[in-house]
Amino acid sequence: MASTFEQFVKFGTDASGLERTFRLLQSLTQILIFIAPARALLLHLLTFLPPTLAASEIPLPALQTLRTRFALGRRFFRVFRFLDAFGSAWALSRTAGVAGGSLEMWLDVSSRSFNGMYLLLETATFPEALGVDGLGVWGAETAAVLQVEGQRLWFFALVCAIGAGVMRVRRGEGGRRLVADVLDLAVPGAVVGWVAASPGTVGVLMLGSTWLTTVEVWERCGRDIGERREKERVVGDLQRRVRELEEQDLGREKGE
C-alpha cells in the first residue's frame, strides 16, 4: 500500500492530478468572486489580514485574474487530449461493432466522440487563449463562437455519459462518476443558456464535481504505486532465484 507522501508526490507530478488541482483552485476563486459570504468567510480564515478589513475590500479584479490564469493553466494539460478521446471512442466503437454493443456501450462511444470534438475546438482556440498579440488564428469573435460551440459539445458528451452512468449504477458501479457528470452539466449548460444557474452556483457545483474526480485521480495514483511495487517485488524475486541457480551451478562445477 502506498504511503500518503508517496501518493501525494505521484499525484503532484501527474498531469491529471495537476489539472484537477488547477480546476479546484479555479472553482474556489469563482465562488469567492460571486458569493460575498464566501469572501467574508475567507477574511475570517486569513488571520494575517487586519480583522477590520471589509469583505467588499477584497480585490475582485485580482480574483478574476486568478480564475482566468487557473483556467488557462488547465488548458496546457489538455492540448492533445482530444487524440486520447477520439482514440478511445474509435477503439470502443470497433468493439461495439464486432460484439453488437449494448446501448450503454454506444452511449460511451458518443460521449467520448463529443468530448473529443469539444477538446479539439478547445485546442484550436488555444492560441487566442494565450492572449499574445499577433498569435491568434481565428480572431477574437470567431474564437469566442468556437468556444461556445465547444461547450455545447461538452454538454452533449456529459448527457451521453450520464445515460451510460445510469445503466452502470443499476449494476452497482460508477456512482461517483455519475454524480460528478451531473454536477458538471451546469458548467457548459450555463454558458450555452441551457441551465439557469448563477456563476456562484456553477462554482459550487464545479467544486463538487472537481472534488469527486480528484479523488478518482488520487486513488489511481495509489494503485499505480502499488502496481509498481508489486512489479519491483516480482523482479527482485526473479533476480534472487537466478542468483540461487547460478550459485547452485557453480557449486556443482566445483564438486566435479
Q: What is the pLDDT of residues 29-46, one digit of tens each?
A: 999 999 988 877 876 666
Query: 95: pLDDT confidence band, cut at 50, 70 and 90?
Result: confident
Mean pLDDT score of the chain: 89
HEC string for 22-84: HHHHHHHHHHHHHCHHHHHHHHHHCCCCCCCCCHHHCCHHHHHHHHHHHHHHHHHCCCCHHHH
Cell numbers 489538455 label which residue? 78
Which residues are CB-contacts of 137 (< 8 A; sequence separation ≥ 6)?
124, 125, 127, 128, 143
pLDDT of residue 156: 98
pLDDT of residue 54: 47
Report pLDDT digits (tens) over 145-165: 999 999 999 999 999 999 999
The one-letter code for the residue type at 131 is: G
Cβ proximity of 225 and 217 under 8 Å = no
* Mean pLDDT for the stretch of residues 117-132: 95
Q: Is the pLDDT of residue 214 over 70?
A: yes
SS3 content of the chain, % helix, strand, coil (to 5): 80, 0, 20
The pTM score is 0.86
DSSP 2: -
How far is 251 from 256, CA to CA, in rounded Å?
Answer: 9
